[in-house]
A and B are shown apart, each in its own frame.
Chain A
Amino acid sequence: MTPRPFLQLSAIALGLWLGTVRGAAANGTEQGSVLIPAGFYEPLIRSPKDLAKKPVAAFWLDEQPITNGQFLAFVRAHPRWQRSHISRLFADSSYLEHWTSDLNPGTQAPLNVPVVQISWFAARAYARWVGRRLPTTAEWELAAAAGYTRPDGKNDEVLQHDLYAWLARPVPPIQSTVTTARRNLHGARGLHGFVWEWVDDFNTALVTGESRADSGLERDRFCGAGSLGAKDSSDYAAFMRQALRASLQANNTTTSLGFRCAQDFSPLDPYSPR
């Protein structure tokens, strides 16, 4: 089932070629997209019912996370998502807290760096506004599994070094720009080493939040929890992503959590991203 390396590389090359001409929304949300070829996602933690390799269709993914500047255009157009207007149901009290005011990101949030302190609802609302959606866990992990120069990022020493150096650093008071970050093989920037990113189905991570209970999830709290087994216990970063998703509520915001958008790939309309 796995595509042969030549085909895989050709598909990636095609994605880059198509991806270079992306862009062009007229509302300040211009965003390059890259084509992530179809592949297989290997869930880190799976129940006995899960496939070891889950097929993922090709899709478009934003080249980099959404920035403060882009998010500003969104809240300008939709006042109810501005900091002082938002319902606590959709974002907690630290939503965009690092911005100077509703319509002024200010010095702590330069326009060209990834927006953080946004909730899942806000990320989704933005994505809908630009005619896209959030990537699924499977899509995000598939895109992020690629290294800088090889399809298997976990064997890309440079990428692994960058990733773990980032994990070891405290969250910076001001995020760095992703525009100049090194592209991975698919052309995407900053999937590792900048901000954590929301996925649409973050709430599929069935963990109780009580670490001692996670190894044998209480059958009463979750229907069908069954037993869980991790595929690769050395993939520390993947554990961190899993734990983060499991610990989040949809209205939570954190100083290192942002997002990027995705879109289905339509073979009949290869230029579909706007």
Chain B
Amino acid sequence: MKTTPTRLLLIVFAACALIGAVGRAEIKTCCAEKITSESTALALSPDSLYQLESHFTDDTGQTFTLGELRGRPVVLNMFFSSCGYACPLLVTDMQAIRGQLPAAIRASTIFVLVSFDTDRDTPAALATYRAQRSLDKSWKLLHGSADAVRELAALLGLKYKQEIDGSFSHSNLLTVLNAEGVIVHQRSGLEGGLPATAAALIAAVK
């Protein structure tokens, strides 16, 4: 198997020509989303989503990990900003849930939107979406790596798939997390269930 560098190079080029390999950019994701390290001192519940240490970026360009939500109840939804059907409805539903919360709980609840569209939903695109939908600072809009997004979706039990036209087919799933990042309620589909979701959130705070 010893070959001269020149010969090796030739073989390599031949290989490329033969199989038309696309030299996909080598993205070594080593540390972006290692889940907790063994030394983590703050004991999280074994069911807490905040064990996920993936880094996201919010719509102001700041790095963000889900663990930063700890201490506050969360309504979480995955979406993409160019979605024409379900996602706008789900955001409207989240606003409706917010309207059903007592003032004190409403003030502490965070509404999180994580985009599937890792290519197009850049922080700037998410900022535009925030403006279009008039979302105030109780909303967190997050962009993540394809890997981080897939892992989060897997934790939520959410299926999604990118279509050839760039849009996404996806489960419609609103998730409520308690202050420790544990899933306390999920609402599947697009109809009904909002009072139950609000009630689950209120119960989680008490």
Contact = CB atoms under 8 A, between A and B. Distances in A.
B68 to A, nearest CB: 18
23 contacts: A3-B19, A14-B18, A21-B1, A37-B21, A38-B19, A50-B163, A51-B164, A128-B29, A128-B30, A131-B30, A203-B150, A203-B153, A220-B86, A221-B188, A222-B159, A223-B87, A224-B163, A224-B167, A224-B169, A225-B169, A265-B21, A267-B16, A268-B12
A57 interface: yes
Interface stretch (B45-53, B100-108, B120-128, B134-142): B45-53
Main secondary structure of the interface of B (DSSP, over half): loop
Interface stretch (A65-73, A84-92, A96-104, A141-149): A84-92
A182 B21 CA distance: 27
A204 B159 CA distance: 6
Interface string A48-59: 011100000110
A215 interface: no
A29 B96 CA distance: 52
A80 B15 contact: no
Interface of B: 1, 8, 11-16, 18-24, 26, 28-30, 34-36, 38, 46-49, 51, 83, 85-87, 150-151, 153-155, 157-161, 163-165, 167-172, 188-191
A239 interface: no
B167 A58 contact: no
B157 A249 contact: yes
A38 B85 contact: no
B189 A220 contact: yes
Given A89-B51, A203-B150, A11 B19 contact: yes
B35 A221 contact: no
Given A120-B154, A203-B158, A222 B170 contact: yes
A250 interface: yes
Contacts of B16: 267
